[in-house]
Amino acid sequence: MQMSYHIFGESHGTGIGVVMENLPSGIRLDFDAIEQDMARRRAKTDGTSTTRIESDCPKILSGVFEGYTTGTPLCAVIENENTRSGDYKATKDLARPGHADYTGNLRYRGYQDYRGGGHFSGRMTAPLVFAGAVAKQVLKQAGITVGAHILQIGRIKDIPFDPVSVNEKQLKAVAAKSFSVVDDQIGQMMREEILQARSNLTSVGGIIQCAIVGVKPGIGQNDFDSVESVISRNLFAIPAVKGVEFGLGFGYASAHGHEVNDPFVNQNGRIVTQTNHNGGVLGGITSGMPIIFQAVFKPTPSISKEQQTVNLQTGENEKLVIKGRHDPCIVGRAAVVVEAAAALSILQLTGDIQMPMKEDEI
Amino acid sequence: MQMSYHIFGESHGTGIGVVMENLPSGIRLDFDAIEQDMARRRAKTDGTSTTRIESDCPKILSGVFEGYTTGTPLCAVIENENTRSGDYKATKDLARPGHADYTGNLRYRGYQDYRGGGHFSGRMTAPLVFAGAVAKQVLKQAGITVGAHILQIGRIKDIPFDPVSVNEKQLKAVAAKSFSVVDDQIGQMMREEILQARSNLTSVGGIIQCAIVGVKPGIGQNDFDSVESVISRNLFAIPAVKGVEFGLGFGYASAHGHEVNDPFVNQNGRIVTQTNHNGGVLGGITSGMPIIFQAVFKPTPSISKEQQTVNLQTGENEKLVIKGRHDPCIVGRAAVVVEAAAALSILQLTGDIQMPMKEDEI
Amino acid sequence: MQMSYHIFGESHGTGIGVVMENLPSGIRLDFDAIEQDMARRRAKTDGTSTTRIESDCPKILSGVFEGYTTGTPLCAVIENENTRSGDYKATKDLARPGHADYTGNLRYRGYQDYRGGGHFSGRMTAPLVFAGAVAKQVLKQAGITVGAHILQIGRIKDIPFDPVSVNEKQLKAVAAKSFSVVDDQIGQMMREEILQARSNLTSVGGIIQCAIVGVKPGIGQNDFDSVESVISRNLFAIPAVKGVEFGLGFGYASAHGHEVNDPFVNQNGRIVTQTNHNGGVLGGITSGMPIIFQAVFKPTPSISKEQQTVNLQTGENEKLVIKGRHDPCIVGRAAVVVEAAAALSILQLTGDIQMPMKEDEI
Amino acid sequence: MQMSYHIFGESHGTGIGVVMENLPSGIRLDFDAIEQDMARRRAKTDGTSTTRIESDCPKILSGVFEGYTTGTPLCAVIENENTRSGDYKATKDLARPGHADYTGNLRYRGYQDYRGGGHFSGRMTAPLVFAGAVAKQVLKQAGITVGAHILQIGRIKDIPFDPVSVNEKQLKAVAAKSFSVVDDQIGQMMREEILQARSNLTSVGGIIQCAIVGVKPGIGQNDFDSVESVISRNLFAIPAVKGVEFGLGFGYASAHGHEVNDPFVNQNGRIVTQTNHNGGVLGGITSGMPIIFQAVFKPTPSISKEQQTVNLQTGENEKLVIKGRHDPCIVGRAAVVVEAAAALSILQLTGDIQMPMKEDEI
């Protein structure tokens, strides 16, 4: 059975969390690694993030016994704390531009929890990161590593992963940083770009690049379960993601076949491609080369500048100034979120990782 | 129940086709409109396409009675004709770069039908276009129109749709053209770009832009069934699609919130956004503005230049010169294919279109 | 989107619960009605049940705001209390006959939580009953009522529902009883049957009959989403259910068409059937007559008699005497569990119940 | 990915068939075995069946190459022939009691193909039997055999399979018979029971018992993907099935735990149960014992006796005498249909059968 995950919760409700079904049993959970991922998502204290900082410690209710996954549904819950719901009541009826206030109000007929974006909040990515951290530990058993870095924020661009040589070591090095970039000097410039947006009472967008190494060739299909289909479906469930491309992606538009066809070559008995413009996927199926993709995040819609909007109660045009605590750029915290969606996708595509019986069982 | 579609067939097999489940009953099928869409996908005779031209006339086996959909599964079959399988046998073991020969061989353990790409062939888009044409006729009942144009081929770019004002009339005008562009002069330049690629024994990529107008606000969710998730999942099942973006898409990376937040305004009692950078989707849910997205197609991997590859039988490095009939650019035929995937996605998202009982029934 | 529910937890773990996705928004939850259903499932103190009695008070973490469902995922958690895990350790390796100890051990490779049956425990029906209680309140908006009674325990049989005239009032009357039978004198005999099984150190099986009234005709399909398919799929997820039949069910084997064909008749402008052997379903689709089905429960496998089994560690044949607290008959508590699975099934079949916008929203 | 199958067609339409997705590649199809199964479903010429006899030769359009499954979607089509649609027009508006005419008319709003039951026809079991025959050949690679016999027709009962010792040889012997019974003398009595029903212008019901041997222990789950859930879901998609029970089934109601608990015993190093009342499934998971279940079929609703019904056009109460060709008992042809649903279910539960690469591939 294919692994599935189900995220629940609202930003200012009692708790948020996730249920993961059809995990393999017998995975020893490394809680330090989980905490490391949770920390990467957590707001920074350097001015580039919201000042709402939560410990976000997931409590596991089921599916783990004596430190190992049982294979039955794993539920983890994060209690909400540090909520200032009062911030939102005053402007409850003023649909924030770029947010889901208006569309969510129609979809849920006015009954949604509007506080802090409710179920649409970026806070929903906390249980996603938890689930991704679990998925990574499953994938590790199969020699698969997932890593992402901030490729671009505003006008500043990091050095892209080399699509042929990117490897586990490089991915781990990037993941170990609190601000996930290849080049730290560029990272510093990105931070300045964010602080400048903040001081301009606005926000800025960016791109996360993600690589997955160690996936066997031959995984996926050329239909709705193509590698690209499964990954993109999960990525577009992340708030603010507005585009997904694999390998050369939109760069293909002006490219010619003979430049980008990725010739095959037998390299010491292993079939590889000399280049990897296809981002590790051919015909929806893994080629054994690193899987590479980019996801673009729009600027946080919550900005401090005054904006034009409509009062959903009265229908009147009104001006809105958003109060509350917000990120001037979500991209700095998004690398680990993209990794999570990627890891969960690969786990869905690869199926059950074959684990042995527990040692003392027959 | 959600509409689903299931495409079957191989390029040089007995037949290809599609089964559509959970269509609404009572849709009067307009076979001229279906044929018009099939014709748009068919190879052109102006040198920009393959010389394999098939009539591709779908034969409906089930699900239509006295001209109306019955609501039970609709199966349509297109028989293969004009196959020159001999073209492929000689190079059967030479994995064509950029194609799924190598990955498909691993995925299907060597048992796949290799002739003409088999199930990976672009020919599979013929039943997709048929299904899309049926879906469009269902959506028409709800006032929804889908239309796509070639936004870019190589270095040549068409005029983009205006994301606020694009409308049914404009979409129909573009769809009526055999080469779907807004500006025909640009279209002519695109054709030349293609012919030049052909004369250089190579191929060229491009971008399709698609708009959907008439969708009610409030459709979709902020999870795996977000509008973006469903559309991208279906788009990435189309051969050669390597990227999907909504609205401003990758342009968001260097944008600032206050420039792109799409302010709301009450326009004669209807809530609209003054701009539409979000491409008609906020929080995964339709805003009532036109849905706009772009999909990038890589250059056809089948090129006439000699290429480096590996013989899958012997493991030897070899040179490959692809024979057979190929498109130097698939993008010219792809607009209607993207429309099909979009129409099917919207039908999946909107659920059953409410139709009345047949007139003479109680 | 179709409503789905996901149950998690283990009998002696931290907590058990359920996530419900795609509920309609705007359903005002009646917590008294939920508690009434939870109470019907709770163990009795009259000797017919286990002596492990838990308050089983579900705590709602998400999906409910100001008393109404939001339409986003609803998660409810029940903390485990009153666990005596020590009861199970001694016999951990002795596979209890009739239980899932052996099969679960293979399925989950020895990593499952063995205490009290873990995820296989009948305790998992507590969140199911909660979810069913929520589903019933949604169905109530559409005029649908679900009710079940104990049709048989051992040799004792209750009066079956009349398949034509069974109605909301009768279903509510049965549901109001702590021991859900039509005839209370028969109910007393059933209790004695249970006590006798208990005093014989064994257990006894039985049958639950369930009726659903108020479902519109025309719901369902004649495939895997037939009314019978959806209900049976959900029923067989209940521990101990080993058979499901609709209407006359296995009685059809020796029946003749002319006796059981359910003739149609126009009754004051409404088409009904004179009899209802088909249990309200024809061709997988509701007929508008009451939906009636029976589910058989096997005797609780946990009995106090000594039993033959195998030690899963050593492979040795051994004798087992089960300690711990057990039900000599699960059927007395099962009516509300069957109702829950039925209500959830009908909600899955009928799709979204159309609710209006919240009053103060435009 | 889980195997899925999609049946399409109407009794008097152009063609009927099936698409199977996610079959393993490399299964050499035995067309004689397929034809043998198709023949078992075909109407008999001994008076016990309808006189509409069709060759029902499935034509494979895709998914098979050089005799082996490719792993890509397999479509097979059976053209309709020998249709006498005129038989049905006269009584088109008279809902046949026990049939889906009335419910289907509501469900599909009057647009369904009414001829011969349309998509509700028992004829839809022809592609099901084809798909089942393919599934059986996949299961055969894993040492799994499926076989069914007529357990009961009217008052006549065949000898049940022994739930512990039933084996491949016995299943094959029963399947080789055109009238699938264990005891041929009983089979003769059943035939007489059918002929008597026919001469009484009525029809008669019955029970099919099915066994599956060779399934590894540890397959399935204790939720909606339990062995019982998956099998019952597929069985209830077969027209006329109204009940499904596993092992002792409804017999459990009056049984006591100590009599039916299936003690475990180590038999030459293999853990088995001494009895098999549970029908090979414990906690939704296979125990390694034969899987045994029974499905009850209602009497064919098409009978020659005059019946009471309603005219769906006029709403008038009318008398109906059904003309056309009908089976006085469907059970004689149903064993192979039940086998098909069982084989497809087991294939869905077991996942991909691991096949090696084609010999001449690297």
Torsion angles phi and psi, residue B340, rounded to 5: -60, -50
- pLDDT for position B247: 98
User: How far C169 CA sits from the closest chain D CA (Å)?
Assistant: 26
Q: Kindly write down the DSSP assignment for every residue of A65-96, as one continuous string.
A: ETTEE-SSPEEEEEE--S--THHHHTTTTBPP
Residue D268 has pLDDT above 90, yes or no: yes
Under an 8 A CB cutoff, do C241 and D219 touch? no
Question: In degrees to the nearest 10, what's the CA dihedral of D311, C267, D102, C251?
Answer: -120
Strands annotated E in A97-205: 145-153, 156-157
Mean pLDDT of chain B: 93
Written as six digits, the tokens of A101 are 């206030």
- pLDDT for position C87: 62
Which region among A312-316, B17-21, B69-73, B242-246 has the lowest average model confidence (pLDDT)? Answer: A312-316
Tell me: the pLDDT tens digits for D96-149? 999 999 999 999 999 999 998 999 999 999 999 999 999 999 999 999 999 999
Which region among A348-352, B1-5, B32-36 has the lowest average model confidence (pLDDT)? Answer: A348-352
Under an 8 A CB cutoff, do C112 and A8 touch? no
The rounded percent of chain D whose pLDDT value lies above 90 is: 85
Under an 8 A CB cutoff, do C257 and D223 touch? no
Give residues with Cβ within 8 angstroms of A145, minimum separation 6.
A136, A139, A168, A171, A172, A212, A213, A214
Tell me: the pLDDT tens digits for C120-167? 999 999 999 999 999 999 999 999 999 999 999 999 999 999 999 999
CB atoms within 10 A of CB A320: 19
User: Rg of the Cα trace of chain A?
Assistant: 21
Q: Does B22 contact A at CB distance below 8 Å?
A: no
Query: What average pLDDT score do residues B57-70 get?
Result: 96
Residue B263 has pLDDT above 70, yes or no: yes
Return the residue of A nearest to D271 by Cα. A362
The rounded percent of chain B whose pLDDT value lies above 70 is: 94
Residue C218 has pLDDT above 60, yes or no: yes
The predicted model scores a pTM of: 0.97
Give residues with Cβ within 8 angstroms of A268, minimum separation 6.
none
Question: In degrees to the nearest 10, what's the CA dihedral of D94, D97, D102, D104?
Answer: -120
Find chain C residues with C-beta within 8 A of B2's C-beta. Answer: 1-2
| CB neighbour burial string for A281-309, b if at least 16 within 10 angstroms, e if fewer | bbbbbbbbbbbbbbbbbbbbbbbbeebbb
Which candidate in B62, B89, B313 is best for mutational testing of the D interface (most D CBs within 10 A)?
Answer: B62
**Could you say which DSSP state residue B326 is in?**
-
Residue D15's closest CA among D101, D104, D127?
D127
Mean pLDDT of chain D: 93
Cβ contact B162:B70 at 8 Å: no
Q: How far is the C-alpha of D240 from the C-alpha of D331, rounded, in Å?
A: 10
Pairing of strands A68-69, A15-21: unpaired
Q: How far is the C-alpha of C300 from the C-alpha of C197, rounded, in Å?
A: 11
Residue type, D313: Q
CA distances from A337 to A73, A297, B38, B222, B232 (A): 22, 12, 41, 15, 19
- pLDDT for position D52: 66
Under an 8 A CB cutoff, do A19 and C14 touch? no
Q: How far is the C-alpha of C106 from the C-alpha of C356, rounded, in Å?
A: 50
CA distances from B169 to B146, B166, B174, B212, B336 (A): 11, 8, 9, 12, 16
Q: Does A1 contact D at CB distance below 8 Å?
A: yes
Residue D326 has pLDDT above 90, yes or no: no
Under an 8 A CB cutoff, do D71 and B109 touch? yes
Query: What average pLDDT score do residues C207-226 get?
Result: 96
C-alpha A180, offset from chain centre: 13
Tell me: the pLDDT tens digits for D306-325? 999 999 999 999 999 987 76
Cβ contact D151:D157 at 8 Å: yes
Tell me: the pLDDT tens digits for C232-278? 999 999 999 999 999 999 999 999 999 999 999 999 999 999 999 99
Q: Does C313 contact A at CB distance below 8 Å?
A: yes
Which region among A153-162, B36-45, C298-307 has the lowest average model confidence (pLDDT)? Answer: B36-45
How many residues belong to chain B? 362
Give average pLDDT by consecutive 10-residue segment, chain A, 362 residues. Answer: 95 96 95 95 77 79 97 96 67 92 95 93 96 97 97 98 98 92 97 96 97 96 95 98 98 97 96 98 98 98 95 94 84 96 96 71 53
How many residues belong to chain A? 362
- pLDDT for position C282: 98
- The most distant pair of C-alpha atoms in chain A lies apart, rounded to whole Å, by 71
Query: What average pLDDT score do residues B210-227 get?
Result: 96
Cα atoms in the Cβ-side hemisphere of radius 13 Å centred on D232: 33
- pLDDT for position A288: 98
* Partners of residue D20 on adjacent β-strands: D5, D74
Give residues with Cβ within 8 angstroms of A100, minimum separation 6.
A117, A120, B222, B282, B283, B284, B285
User: How far C179 CA sits from the closest chain A CA (Å)?
Assistant: 32
Residue D301 has pLDDT above 70, yes or no: yes
Q: Does A26 contact C at CB distance below 8 Å?
A: yes
- Please report the sign of the dihedral spanned by the C-alpha atoms of residue A108, residue A111, residue A117, residue A119: negative
Cβ contact D106:C218 at 8 Å: yes
- pLDDT for position C50: 72
Written as six digits, the tokens of B98 are 């950029």
Q: How far is the C-alpha of A142 from the C-alpha of A350, rounded, in Å?
A: 10
Q: Does A226 contact B at CB distance below 8 Å?
A: yes
- pLDDT for position B178: 84
Under an 8 A CB cutoff, do A222 and B237 touch? yes
Tell me: the pLDDT tens digits for C164-193? 999 999 999 998 898 999 999 999 999 999
Residue D28's SS3 state is strand
C-alpha A228, offset from chain centre: 15
Pairing of strands A59-62, A74-79: antiparallel
Return the residue of B nearest to A205 by Cα. B253
Q: Using pLDDT thresholds of 50, 70 and 90, give the confidence band for residue B19.
A: very high
Of D226, D299, D308, the CB nearest to C255: D299
- pLDDT for position C360: 61
Residue C322 or residue A34, greater confidence: A34
